[in-house]
Amino acid sequence: MRKNIVAGNWKMNNDLSQTESLLADLKVQTQTSNAEVMVAPTFTNLYQANEALKASNIEVIAQNMHFAEKGAYTGEISASMLKSIGVNTTILGHSERREYFKENDELLAKKVDAALANDIRVIFCFGEELADRKSGNEENIVEGQIKNALFHLEASAFKDIVLAYEPVWAIGTGETASPEQAQDMHAFIRKTLANTYGVEVANSVSILYGGSVKPANAQEIFSKPDVDGGLIGGASLKAEDFFAIVNAF
């Protein structure tokens, strides 16, 4: 059966000493849910975070990676570099990468392939913009993003894929998709998976919701049958809030 997952995306926040203090705060939190918990510090703090959280059940993951194994890609980080410091999961396709760094479906398909080839699990993000939702086009957009970046994969690859539906209009805006909007889209995503890969694969893939999840709204969102957890931005920067969300399961 699919897993419940709560992952914190710290984005470009926290220098080393701020990271150390957040890690110390995380370690004293108590987990009462059965969710898998992950945090994604910035690249410069991944090693430190992994060392600090080794004895905990919090997995340290990356926010991004490059598709090439090595070479002349100034400023980039490869899958094998992540593996070499014990990082086994990465976020890919976050809307901020798509918007500010022009990452498109074709590039993301290459990144997904590189991650899977290196045994790195992928949290694949996608979601419509406000104009798409206003024009009723959200399902077409989401279907295209998933199909273009992932549907060249064999069914067996989906054991290492987690999907994260993140409507762009709800990220960092304080505006959240209603639990019903999240459920409707997650059910649509699962149906899209089932149509190509079958019901068994569709039911085995965790689909996370992301977009202004907070302690106050997490429980209602997570209670929906097709919502298997959350990708948390702002609220993951405070250990207490993050664990209130983890414990909302």
Using CB atoms within 10 A of its CB, is residue 34 exposed (0-12), middle (13-18) or buried (19+)? exposed
Closer residue to ligand PEP (CB): 210 or 229: 210
Please name the helix (run of DSSP H) or strand (run of DSSP E) that holds residue 90, with its range, or none: strand 89-92
Residue 175 interacts with ligand PEP (CB under 6 A): yes or no: no
Residue 127 interacts with ligand PEP (CB under 6 A): yes or no: no
In the chain, the amino acid numbered 240 is E
Handedness of CA 134, 137, 143, 149 (dihedral sign): negative
Q: Is 94 a catalytic residue?
A: yes
Binding mask 43-82 for ligand PEP (x = CB under 6 A): ----------------------------------------
Residues 217-246 that bind ligand PEP (CB under 6 A): 231-235
At a CB cut-off of 8 Å and minimum separation 6, what does 48 contact? 16, 19, 20, 23, 41
How many chain residues are in contact with ligand PEP, going by CB under 6 A?
Answer: 13
Among 9, 63, 64, 89, binds ligand PEP (CB under 6 A): 9
In this structure, the dihedral spanned by the alpha carbons of residues 102, 104, 108 and 109, taken in order and rounded to 10 degrees, is -160
Contact in structure between 244 and 197 (CB atoms under 8 Å): no
- Among 36, 138, 166, 228, which residue interacts with ligand PEP (rule: CB under 6 A)? 166
Q: Give the chain's length.
A: 249
**Residue 201 or 241: which CB sits closer to ligand PEP?**
241
Q: Out of 163, 213, 218, 246, point to the residue binding ligand PEP (CB under 6 A).
A: 213
What amino acid positions are annotated as catalytic residues? Answer: 94, 166
Q: Which residues bind ligand PEP (CB under 6 A)?
A: 9, 166, 171-172, 210-213, 231-235
